[in-house]
A and B are shown apart, each in its own frame.
Chain A
Amino acid sequence: MLQTAQRSAKSKTKKAAPPHDRFLEAFRWMLLARTLEEKLVSLYRGGLITGGVYIGKGQEAVSVACGLFLQEGDIFAPLIRDQAGRSAFGEPLIDVTRTYLGSRLGPMRGRDGNIHRGHPRNNELAMISHLGAMVSVTVGALMAKRFRGEKNFVGLACIGEGGMQTGAFHEGMNIAAVEQVPLVIVATNNHYAYSTPNDREFACHDLVDRAIGYGFEGYTVDGTDLAACLDVIGSAVKRARAGRPPQLVVASVLRLSGHGEHDDASYVPEEVKREPFARDCLKVAEQTILDLELLDAETLAEWRKEAAAQVDEAVAAAQKEPAPEGDKEDWCAYSMRDLVNSVE
């Protein structure tokens, strides 16, 4: 170990090629997401966050791959466990802390909280809690681009195996294929819809088999393997961009947290936690980095420190900001407030 560290310290040249050319960049987003969410959890436990905290622990490899290959002009519809993907897509950390801490200055201004946030003007759609609803919204956004004659764009919508069982998701998949929009759907099977295991969620052999029924091209990936996620999801994005039919990627992981931080997930049996899909993708990626000597331990520690500093800065900044106030709020739900106010 000491020898490895010394050797790496001497020369930062890589001993082996990374298993994917964006592996380290992706790993760094994962690290940032994990660090941020650990901080959010401790703020929640300390009573400093109202509502709930919903984290993506164990899903960072899939999520980062969702955000990383999108370019300016692409549409991203992240969901509840997509901190890594949101950051890779370009969401500033301060958006997250402002929303969780209820700053008046955040994108949601205290009107909505936690993971129910987005920047629709920057093409990061703001999810609603009703699962599956954002798939057709993404389709519509892509159609608008096509109407305007734009080229070379793609949309990516995230879902879980729980959300895949909704009517909205079914309608969204079907209409995406009917419209032949350049859409990638990344479905992360984290094996639990809140507390309900797979065997009470669906009865098909493999969720990816649904792809063909909708006219999608379907792929599976081990969601604990960062390189595989980058490869499979990156390729799906590339194919959609090139005009292939819509793409479905089904990733397998275990949710390494409760549904939210109020949930201790005691319903997950010990033997499930020993399954291969239960590996922690961040630890697996870190081990790859060390095994292949892609980074030395010192650099890794530095990255960790930097992530923590960024998170602390974003938390401290949001904590200093004013909260919304009921008597100063603009209680009009219409953008055309004059039209409504002149009558009501």
Chain B
Amino acid sequence: MSITYLEAIREAQAKLLRDDERVFIYGQDVGGTFGGAFKATKGLAKEFPARVLNTPISEDAIVGTAIGAAMQGMRPIVEMQFADFSSIALNQILNNAGTHYWRTNVPVPITVRLPSGGTKGSGPFHSQSMESIYAHYPGLIVMTPATVEDAYTMLIEAVAIDDPVIYCEHKYLYYHLKADKLPEKGLPTGRARIAREGRDLTIVSYSAMMQESLGAAEELAREGFEIEVVDLRTVKPLDTDTVLASVARTGRLLCVGESFPWGGATAEVIARVTNQGFHLLDAAPQRLNAKDTPIPYHPNLWSAHRPNAKKIAAKARALLRE
């Protein structure tokens, strides 16, 4: 048997709906026989018609409704049709959900699923990676699963967490990643994972770029380099200890993310390592992000815009020479 990243997300939701009456799924086109723009909820409305609900195109109100329900004891899962559209719900996510526990002592256990990142031909408004925006604001947990196994266990974990969780699922991984079976349990939330061991250079990444980084490590292995790849799994909280321990082994750090280059998760990792582990570094830490333009439509432009295994390997090669 083989299961995809997308099927893992669907299976996690099926299990959550089955096991916990407080769970409901709320979003555009998630219900009926349709099951979502990417089919992440396909078939779920048939089994749970009262708890898999279509909504109007009202991202602000969708999240607001989830917040109100969560305050009253429910465990809503919101599906944004695309991560990009969560910008309409920023106010509810940042100013309502993110501040609520701190202000009132009452937590808001919502999970907001963001189909994130680029696929060919999707253009500026259906390709964005928003994790750095959400990580910047207090009160939110930001998950960025890079494997089928994590996609499954982390979504189950997200719903169990009492605080608001932004769950960034990568659209490119939906069909490209497969696993033999789903695990019962994953690493604890917030813990990074050494995805590949090495001693020459550390690549820190997450989500689809973690897979590209593994590709780069494979390419460099053929040239005799042993690259360690750290999968952050969640960008907030950020497992600085695991990253520092890896840099202590390798002395070189490259951070890779698909989001825009100004600030963000990769910059945060570098800031922390420089601050807490400057003595561990044999060369200036580097990072690789998408270009600082909107995400282009044409496949030629799109593949030039985002990092990929080849570009990561080139950047790593340069860093290895330093």
Contact = CB atoms under 8 A, between A and B. Distances in A.
Interface of A: 75, 107-108, 111-112, 116, 118-121, 125-126, 128-130, 133-145, 147-148, 167-168, 171-172, 174-175, 178-179, 333-336, 339-340, 342-344
B127 interface: no
B312 interface: no
B68 A343 contact: no
B91 A133 contact: yes
Contacts of B63: 136
Contact of A138 (B68, B74, B104): B68
28 contacts: A112-B103, A120-B100, A120-B106, A121-B106, A141-B68, A141-B71, A143-B68, A144-B69, A147-B24, A168-B60, A168-B64, A168-B92, A171-B60, A171-B61, A171-B64, A172-B64, A174-B58, A175-B65, A333-B101, A333-B138, A334-B163, A335-B101, A339-B141, A339-B189, A340-B190, A342-B190, A343-B190, A343-B241
B68 to A, nearest CB: 3
B47 to A, nearest CB: 16
B91 A130 contact: yes
A144 B64 contact: no
Given A136-B60, A175-B58, A343-B191, A333 B102 contact: yes
Nearest to B157: A339
Given A126-B100, A130-B91, A143 B190 contact: no
B65 A137 contact: yes
A168 B61 contact: yes
Interface stretch (B29-37, B232-240, B255-263): B232-240
Interface of B: 21-22, 24, 50-51, 55-56, 58-74, 76, 91-92, 95-96, 98-104, 106-107, 138-139, 141, 161-163, 188-191, 237-241
B190 A136 contact: no
Contacts, number: 160
A199 B21 CA distance: 49
Nearest to A139: B65
User: Which residue among B61, B67, B104 has the maximum number of chain A CB atoms within 10 Å of its CB?
Assistant: B61
Nearest to B192: A343
A144 B60 CA distance: 18
A92 B223 CA distance: 72
A135 B103 contact: no
Contacts of B21: 147
Chain A binding surface SS class? helix
Given A143-B69, A333-B99, A343-B239, 18 more contacts: A111-B103, A120-B71, A128-B96, A133-B95, A135-B61, A136-B65, A137-B68, A137-B71, A139-B65, A140-B71, A143-B65, A144-B72, A171-B56, A175-B56, A178-B56, A334-B139, A335-B163, A343-B238
A144 B71 CA distance: 9
A334 B65 contact: no
Contact of A172 (B61, B69, B98): B61
A128 B100 CA distance: 9
Contacts of A148: 73
A43 to B, nearest CB: 22
B161 A339 contact: yes
A343 B237 contact: yes
